[in-house]
Chain A
Amino acid sequence: GAGVSQTPSNKVTEKGKYVELRCDPISGHTALYWYRQSLGQGPEFLIYFQGTGAADDSGLPNDRFFAVRPEGSVSTLKIQRTERGDSAVYLCASGLNSYNEQFFGPGTRLTVL
C-alpha cells in the first residue's frame, strides 16, 4: 500500500513569508507526528496528533508554528513569518496508534532566504 506522502518535496521562501507543509498519512493510521531535522542533526519531535486533536505540541519552537488535522487524516504544518533559522527538513510520520511503529514520509526541505 501507499506510504506516508509529503508535499511539496522542496519549498523555497523569503524571510517573513507564510508557508504550509502537507502530510498524507498511511490510510487508517490514527497517530500522526511532525519532526524537524536541521542540517547535521537528528530529527526532533514537534507535535503529535491522535485523531483530529493535537495530543502533544510541546516540541513546537514558538507560536509561529501551528499544525492542524481537521478530519483525522491529512495534516498541515503552518509556519508564519518565516525566519532563516526555520530552514530544515520537516518530516511527517504516522502509526496505527501511539504504541505502534512510526512510518516516515520523504520530508519537505524548507529553505528560507
Chain B
Amino acid sequence: KQEVTQIPAALSVPEGENLVLNCSFTDSAIYNLQWFRQDPGKGLTSLLLIQSSQREQTSGRLNASLDKSSGRSTLYIAASQPGDSATYLCAVRPGGGSNYKLTFGKGTLLTVNP
C-alpha cells in the first residue's frame, strides 16, 4: 500500500526566505506526482504536476522536483510571501491498475511572517 509522508508538518519563515517542502512515497511505481495548495476551509488548488518521466516542473516562484527511484519530491518556493501561507499537500497517482486513486500526504502547514 502506497504511503506518502510530508516533512516538516509545519514551517514558519520570515518573508523573503527561500524554502523547501519535502514529500516521500513508499512505492516508486507512480504515474505522476502533484503538489496542491489548500487555504483554510477551502478546496485544493493544483500547483504543479510532474509526470513519472519528468524530473521537475516550474511555475513562477515554484519548482517541484521528482526522484522516482528514491521515492522523493521537493517543492521549492523562492522569495516567500505572506500570501504563500497555506497547507501544501503532495499526492501520488499509481502507475498500475486503479491509477485514478490519488494518495495524499498529511500536508505541510506553511506560515510566512511579514
Contact = CB atoms under 8 A, between A and B. Distances in A.
Contacts of A106: 42-43
B100 A109 contact: no
Assign chain B's interface to a size class.
20 to 34
B43 A31 contact: no
Interface string B48-80: 010000000000000000000000000000000
Interface string B85-114: 000010100000011111111110000000
Q: Which of A91, A95, A102, A103 has the most CB of B within 10 A?
A: A102
A104 B104 contact: no
Interface in A39-70: 40-45, 48, 56, 59
A25 interface: no
Contacts of B36: 104
Contacts, number: 53
Q: Which of B34, B49, B98, B101 has the most CB of A within 10 A?
A: B101
Q: Which of B49, B102, B105 has the most CB of A within 10 A?
A: B102
A22 B87 CA distance: 25
Nearest to B104: A42
B44 A109 contact: no
Nearest to A42: B104
B100 A48 contact: yes
Interface string B18-56: 000000000000000010100001111110010000000
Interface of A: 4, 6, 31, 33, 35, 40-45, 48, 56, 59, 91, 95, 98-99, 101-107, 109
Listed from nearest, the 4 A-B pairs whose CB atoms lie closest are A42-B104, A106-B43, A104-B44, A98-B100
